[in-house]
Chain A
Amino acid sequence: MSWQMPSTVDEALRLKADNPGATVIAGGTFLGILSGQGLLDNDEWISLQNISELKTLGTEGDLSVGAMVTHRRLELTPVVREDWPGLAQAFGVVASPRIRNVATIGGVLADADYASDPPSMLVASRAVAEVASVRGMRRVPIEDLIAGHYETTLADDELITRVVVPRPRGKGVYRKFRTRSREDRPTVAVAAAREDDRVRVVVGAVSDRPQHYADICAAWKPGDEDSAREIGAAYAEAIRCIGDGRGSAAYRRRVVGVEVRRVLMQVGP
């Protein structure tokens, strides 16, 4: 077994380019389950744990989050709570403190599990990932990064190095809807980011990737309950929900309508 621990991004990109089959490991919470269940049998690993540049958190201007920044830091850092409250909220309701202490923003985006909390809030906030390889760097909006369940648009030699979240132009709210234990993943994830008199509503955990409908949101009248209800109904209509152990497709559809209405009333008037 080989376990590489590069200390710079360049070194990591080089290792990954030389060996695209190696598994990149960040907090290891997702990979730990995969290998524990025998679903992952890889002998070559690249750990990002020693790369300090990936752990930086910049809060001047836009929020600049290194890929190795943990959920817990985003949840607890005072400026993030103050200036990006919706984001701090979304990272703060993931699993339990044990998971949040080690899980990273790079990991949650790259694993692209449909039942995650942060992606919908990141999409609502117009976050952009910086994706690098030895070939160079590109900027990818989160909605284009997550392609489907466990599927991203990352090439084999690419790493997420940073996520940039613009300063909010209005209130942001994340609502996690759970049907089982208080540490469960979301059954329905609803995020809303207000941009002056407009809003971006994103619904996650109900289909293969976060869902956003700009045309539906365009009809929003801040603070108006009927408008909120109509947008909720339109989202419920538009999304093809899946069913799983947390709730059937029909139930999810119902909850989408309710939770979208509620989130809109929270970000309005």
Chain B
Amino acid sequence: MTDARITADIRYSVDHKVPGMWHLRLVRAGIPAGTVTAIDATAVDDEVAVITPEDVLPHGKYGCQIADQHVLASEPKYLGDPVVAVVAATEKAARQAAAAIDVRYETSPAVFDELEAVQPSAPLVHAAHVTSNSDSAYFEMRPQDGTNVCHHFRIRTPGLRGRHEPNLLIDLPSPGDDRLADAFADADVVFEETFRTPAASHVPMEPHATVAEWVDGRLEVTTGTQTPFNLRQDLAVLFGLPAESVRVVAAPMGGSFGAKTFMRTEAIAAVAAKAVGRPVRCVLDRDEVFGEVTRHASTVRMRIGARRDGKFVAKQMLAYLNTGGYADCGPGVAQKMGYAGVGPYRFDHVAVDSYCAYTNLPPAGAFRGYGAMQSAWACERLVDMLADELRIDPVELRRMNLLRDGDAFCTGEIMRDTHFEELLDDVAKAVAWQDGRKGKGIAIMLKGMQTPSRAEAAIRSLPDGRFEVHSGTADMGQGSVEALTRIVADLLDVHPDRITVPCPDTDLVPYDTRTTSSRSTHMMSRALAEAARELRNGGTVGRGRIVNEGGLDPDTGEGIASSHWHQGAASAHVEIDDETGVIDVKTLYASSYAGTVVNRPAAELQNEGSMIMALGSSLFEEISYQDGQLVNPNLSDYNIASALDCASIQHRLMESPGAEVHGLGETAVPPVPPALGNAVASLGYRPRELPMSPERVLASRVDGRPAAR
């Protein structure tokens, strides 16, 4: 197979253009919070259509988990929130029109920091919280009325339930006031610390690109999206249409990493197409991509209790997620950050409170790692601090407490197919742990997959002897077309040349939850196996359907967090210039449990890609804001890792004979920052905040003074 990416035969969403289309530009709020008082469009040409918040009011609000967003904002929630759209025959005319519009505002108080946002005195970003009816609101939301918390996820293991506790904790309670203090009664050592992760950008090479068009009363949208069916549903609700009257074509994406999930610019493009009666295209500029959706900045406070011999007793965790002006899938991220922060360990008691908090910053949503990175940073740094305190080797301390087959996780689900110990040993070996541990660090984590979820697929035999695969799995550069082709070729025992995989088109392919959380290869491969079986039994179409049941009780965390677990570990060896704080990464290694590998080169690229992103997050990637203004929305001021930064990367896909296919797209993200952090800590530093810029490293020196020579 010649890769269409190499022969330039692939038509990315940004390549999709249709004759007669007009161009959309957004006018964005110049204030972080307040109300639009006047829109002056008198300087705009007559041929340009101007769409205002009032025009979109009838559509109501949308949101994948909380219905909190209008198609255009009359009360902007962040600096950059779209308030007006202009549509013109050329891109240039649209840009000129957008620049000619004068918007007046009345400002109101804003809040930017997640810890400030949960204070009782904080200004409210949204007056009320309304749960979305969308399929993507797949668990019960627990908004805290009268606060900025749009979802509060809790875990209370059985011994800690049924107590009268405050709804919102701003700090870890001191043992005297703690309603859960008895959880730590058996602990000889109790250790706690606060960890921070900033917002980050996905930086897909291709920006968000959408073309919307109305064809005989039906809405057709071609767009880069990981969530075609969620998008179809949300668009249908906005326009009061049955789902069948909306068609979403998920064109191949030039990268996404979570940036192209749920509704982005599709709704406004659809409104605009209706207004001008022709197709409308919307492509974001790079600085707009930075502000479109980010990774959740978060603060995690964590307390761990252990016996002198190293056995873990209890963990308490408070996570505060900065979800920005709109919830997006922040509630889901809060849930995953919550249980991933417990780590792959046995505890007698676990109490987790994860708060998804609104602020007046750009919205945060799905991001490779999905919350697990932020809480693994806390969990794994804290385990090392505890190991120091107990004077136990960090590898052995982990080994003593790891979850094994048959153990119950904090959610009550029984673990199976666990490989944590092998992963731990593998990463320790990669940095020659046995030869001394100066400059070395390790970390291990577990990450869940979207549960519950449903995947359907069909295989159609074509008259020319080929087979067409109908699957909702979107290609964002991970090579899903190739993976699906190989899986079906294997299942049908035919040459891959006889398999064709059209891109997901909701008119053509059956339902799939979405291409996120590294679920697709795992879920889709099983749906396709059923479809192939049915096809073999006769007929021209085979259909398959896989449903994974589960989900967690939002108040106790009990249930099935994940129908299969992503298990990963990492290790690092670093040197530090102790006069300047610069980290020199000698080795960065990650080991991911893959079960059975479908396509080795592609799987290896997933591991490497995850590590590269995580390396950037560890060392320098950070979105900076000043009074709500994103100040580094370009690739000169916001650095991502370059080829030269990646020389130290090595990794492994751990397979197990006969095991099922495991998702791999994110497993190597969360363990990397704490492995690096622990390596840095072994040299006399105490990093708590990401990224570990040289300046922060110096400031974290345990003796308080940077080295002087």
Contacts from A to B (Cβ < 8 Å): 33, 37-38, 96, 177, 179-185, 229, 245, 247-248, 251, 254-255, 258, 261
Chain A CB count within 10 A is highest, among B287, B636, B639, B640, for B639
Question: Roughly how many angstroms separate A245 CA and B645 CA in the complex, as a whole number?
Answer: 19
Question: Roughly how many angstroms separate A232 CA and B580 CA in the complex, as a whole number?
Answer: 14
- Asked if B580 and A181 make an inter-chain contact with CB atoms under 8 angstroms apart, the answer reads no
Report which of B287, B580, B644 forms a contact with A258, defined as CB distance below 8 A. Answer: B580
Report which of B631, B642, B698, B709 forms a contact with A181, defined as CB distance below 8 A. Answer: B642
Produce 1/0 per residue, B683-694, CB < 8 A to A.
000000000011
Task: Indicate if B582 sits at the interface (CB-CB under 8 A).
Answer: yes
- Asked if B636 and A181 make an inter-chain contact with CB atoms under 8 angstroms apart, the answer reads no
- Asked if A180 and B695 make an inter-chain contact with CB atoms under 8 angstroms apart, the answer reads no
Closest to A262 in B: B579
Nearest CB on B from A179, distance (A): 5
Chain B CB count within 10 A is highest, among A38, A179, A229, for A179
Residues of chain B from 602 to 625 with CB closer than 8 A to chain A in the complex = 616, 619-620, 624
Report which of A37, A182, A185, A251 forms a contact with B695, defined as CB distance below 8 A. Answer: A251
Closest 6 CB pairs of A and B: A182-B644, A180-B620, A183-B642, A181-B639, A180-B639, A251-B695
Task: Indicate if B477 sits at the interface (CB-CB under 8 A).
Answer: no
Closest to B582 in A: A179
- Asked if B695 and A247 make an inter-chain contact with CB atoms under 8 angstroms apart, the answer reads yes
Closest to A244 in B: B637
Produce 1/0 per residue, B116-155, CB < 8 A to A.
0000000000000000000000000000000000000000
Question: Roughly how many angstroms separate A182 CA and B646 CA in the complex, as a whole number?
Answer: 10
Inter-chain contacts of A180 with B (CB < 8 A) = 619-620, 639, 693
Question: Roughly how many angstroms separate A33 CA and B285 CA in the complex, as a whole number?
Answer: 13
Task: Indicate if B52 sits at the interface (CB-CB under 8 A).
Answer: no
7 more contacts with CB within 8 A, not counting A184-B639, A229-B709, are: A33-B636, A179-B582, A181-B639, A181-B645, A247-B693, A254-B580, A258-B580
Inter-chain contacts of A96 with B (CB < 8 A) = 642
Question: Roughly how many angstroms separate A185 CA and B287 CA in the complex, as a whole number?
Answer: 20
Question: Roughly how many angstroms separate A255 CA and B693 CA in the complex, as a whole number?
Answer: 14
Task: Indicate if B540 sits at the interface (CB-CB under 8 A).
Answer: no
Produce 1/0 per residue, B670-709, CB < 8 A to A.
0000000000000000000000011100100000001001
- Asked if A248 and B695 make an inter-chain contact with CB atoms under 8 angstroms apart, the answer reads yes
Inter-chain contacts of A181 with B (CB < 8 A) = 616, 620, 639-642, 644-645
Produce 1/0 per residue, B635-657, CB < 8 A to A.
01101111011000000000000
Given A181-B620, A182-B645, A245 contacting B637 (CB threshold 8 A):
yes
Total count of chain B residues near the partner, CB < 8 A: 26
- Asked if B640 and A179 make an inter-chain contact with CB atoms under 8 angstroms apart, the answer reads no
Nearest CB on A from B699, distance (A): 9
Question: Roughly how many angstroms separate A122 CA and B480 CA in the complex, as a whole number?
Answer: 51
Question: Roughly how many angstroms separate A179 CA and B621 CA in the complex, as a whole number?
Answer: 11
Task: Indicate if B634 sits at the interface (CB-CB under 8 A).
Answer: yes
Closest to B693 in A: A179
Report which of A182, A245, A247, A255 forms a contact with B632, defined as CB distance below 8 A. Answer: A245
A-B contact pairs, 27 of them (CB 8 A): A33-B636, A37-B634, A96-B642, A177-B580, A179-B620, A179-B693, A179-B694, A179-B695, A180-B619, A180-B620, A181-B620, A181-B642, A181-B645, A183-B639, A183-B644, A229-B709, A245-B631, A245-B632, A247-B693, A247-B695, A248-B695, A254-B580, A254-B698, A254-B706, A258-B579, A258-B580, A261-B709
Inter-chain contacts of B640 with A (CB < 8 A) = 181
Nearest CB on A from B636, distance (A): 7
Inter-chain contacts of B637 with A (CB < 8 A) = 245
Question: Roughly how many angstroms separate A127 CA and B542 CA in the complex, as a whole number?
Answer: 75
Report which of B580, B636, B642, B698 forms a contact with A182, defined as CB distance below 8 A. Answer: B642
Chain B CB count within 10 A is highest, among A247, A248, A261, for A247
- Asked if A245 and B580 make an inter-chain contact with CB atoms under 8 angstroms apart, the answer reads no
Inter-chain contacts of A258 with B (CB < 8 A) = 579-580
Inter-chain contacts of B636 with A (CB < 8 A) = 33, 185
Question: Roughly how many angstroms separate A232 CA and B637 CA in the complex, as a whole number?
Answer: 28
Closest to B638 in A: A245
Question: Roughly how many angstroms separate A180 CA and B696 CA in the complex, as a whole number?
Answer: 12
Nearest CB on A from B621, distance (A): 9
Question: Roughly how many angstroms separate A229 CA and B708 CA in the complex, as a whole number?
Answer: 11
Report which of B95, B624, B641 forms a contact with A245, defined as CB distance below 8 A. Answer: B624
Inter-chain contacts of B698 with A (CB < 8 A) = 251, 254
Question: Roughly how many angstroms separate A37 CA and B645 CA in the complex, as a whole number?
Answer: 27
